[in-house]
A and B are shown apart, each in its own frame.
Chain A
């Protein structure tokens, strides 16, 4: 399961943020254009042994290359067949993440991955604040996306007449009419969904490729998938949940305003974001990035922190402060989220805020707080 989750996350971003928390191990990633965020939280019960940190030491947070971590879990079939036990430990002193796979026949594979200390990757999203939601078994959604070619980038999800849920392939408007793409549409009845809370006429467009990452995981784990969404332009939240883990994928959606216009109409935003224009990824979601970033930045500023920060949420312009972490993104130094106890450790972690603290909405999954077991060896 862990391997599948990693595969699923790898569809989104290139770096994996690993953070052992009191309520579980959190694996997060975000894509390069910051238009998609994914997080899996594995409750301590998911593990045979779970220890967030040795007593007296602050929790470590680390960031590793997705590629390296994925390579440990590269072959899911092989993992299932041969691996009996998997131990993951973080060694703060040597900056190494050690993954040990205890396999059959006494074979033990040890992977030493070096990691970078990093800020806590925390996206802000509140499923409860989204007016629309629908929930269905992953299998239904898997069947729903079957008609679409694997190469399709974006899809529009909407509610049509008769409360039918419609998924339609989305193609950008082509200037030249010669190469028109085939448009496919899948129309599902309301009965296929366990819960449908949206009016007719609402629709959002999001990146299908990124969604497939979560969908395939949900299908393999046979879970229900919930989609919470709002107006076009606001991020859509895809969640899965069971007793041992939960996963959240937050994807940007295309806004109605079909341009790089910066005005979201969001009153809180008081910072123009010229960096987004300069963002030169030729990504079809480009203007979606604008929106989610504006949204994120808007949220950031509502925390009411030290106001006058430049918010280069994407560009890596070195901030005016914090010279001691040259290798990191220079993000703002905000207050720690309350889910991670303790103030920034001596290393002066910076935390990246996508918005206001989510803590209340994201209550820890799984049963009562984990009991720190005896240290099981720090790698």
Chain B
């Protein structure tokens, strides 16, 4: 297993750092998946289904100008590593004005991801900061739990409003209730609703636009205005929104009701085609 990569572009480094900071805010440990053309940060939540709660995908060639990897084996040319997210974000913090950043997989007393930053200093000599982040290699048999969450045939998928606005609305709502109802329809309308015994507050977003649906079959006769709703934990949503430091070019939300009645909500945020973050929130309907 080998991995070496180098970033020299300041903007790429910045973007990478911001993503790493976002991950660090969301969970203590994360999984890093390295494949020939992508880099993924995967967070697993202790959901009942044990699935992935957040999935972040970076197109490798948009970030690194050198990238070499050799996976576990030829057929499974991927590497899955587990590391403490804060370590990576702290290591990248020193790379703010770096000339170059190199990441490689090493084994110095223990397996680690070595992040090496070359800085410019006042004097002619360059300074090098090296961080050895301890990692744990994840065995192949656990890989199946770490795959990208997909929402096949969502019932409703809709583009989200400006995330900042949405975040401030949700933040205010958090003080009133722990559970938020998200309703969306295929007509570009999204409602965020909280209900308590005393009060019910709804924020309506209109004209949001819907991404084209993949399959037409079951939805052709659907009423465009029919609202699909999901109850979610407001704190989890807020966590996801708070972590979005990167200004997205596209943010959307997909909602799906499985035949079994289980509802899932998938949020996806994309930036410039270079990075994609998906977050899955499960339905937490309370029955009163």
A192 touches B122 (CB 8 A): yes
Q: Does A175 contact B (CB under 8 A)?
A: no
Q: Is the CB of B90 within 8 A of A182?
A: yes
Q: Which stretch in A22-30, A113-121, A183-191, A210-218 binds the other chain?
A: A183-191
Q: Which of A180, A181, A189 contacts B121 (CB 8 A)?
A: A189
Q: Do B131 and A190 touch across chains, with their CB atoms under 8 A apart?
A: no
- Please tell me if the beta carbons of A182 and B133 are within 8 angstroms of each other in the complex: yes
Q: Contact between A182 and B132 (Cβ–Cβ < 8 Å)? A: yes
Beta-carbon contact of B121 and A188 below 8 Å:
yes
Instruction: Tell me which residues across on chain B come within 8 A of A192, comparing CB atoms.
Output: 121-123, 125, 127
Chain B contacts for A177, CB-based, 8 A? 110
Q: From DSSP, what is the main secondary structure of chain A's interface residues?
A: mixed
Contact mask B108-148 → A, CB, 8 Å, 1/0? 10101000000001111111111111100000000000000
Report Cα–Cα, A367/B27, bound state, in Å. 59
Q: How many residues of A contact B (CB 8 A)?
A: 19
Contacts of A147 in B (CB 8 A): 94, 129, 131
**Chain B proximity mask over A141-169: 1 for CB below 8 Å, otherwise 0:** 00100110100000000000000000000
Q: Which residues of B contact A180 (CB under 8 A)?
A: 110, 134
Of A147, A182, A186, A191, which is in contact with the most chain B CB atoms at under 10 Å from its CB? A182
B134–A182 touching, CB < 8 Å: yes
CA A27 – CA B1 in complex, angstroms?
57
Please tell me if the beta carbons of B123 and A189 are within 8 angstroms of each other in the complex: yes
A143 neighbours in B (Cβ, 8 Å): 121
Instruction: Name the residue among A180, A181, A190, A192 with the largest chain B CB count within 10 angstroms.
Output: A180
A146 to B90, CA, bound (A): 11
Kindly report which residue of chain A lies nearest to residue B84, judged by CB atoms: A182
Question: Is residue B177 within 8 Å, beta carbon to beta carbon, of the partner chain?
Answer: no
A182–B87 CB distance below 8 A: yes
Does B91 reach chain A (CB closer than 8 Å)?
yes
Nearest opposing residue in chain A for B123, CB measure: A191
A146 to chain B: which residues have CB within 8 Å? 94
Beyond the given pairs A192-B122, A192-B123, 17 more chain A to chain B contacts, judged by CB atoms under 8 angstroms and listed by A's residue number, are: A147-B129, A147-B131, A149-B90, A182-B91, A182-B133, A183-B112, A183-B132, A184-B91, A184-B132, A185-B129, A185-B131, A186-B130, A188-B125, A189-B127, A191-B123, A191-B125, A192-B125
Question: Which residues of A pack against B, CB within 8 Å?
Answer: 140, 143, 146-147, 149, 177, 180-192
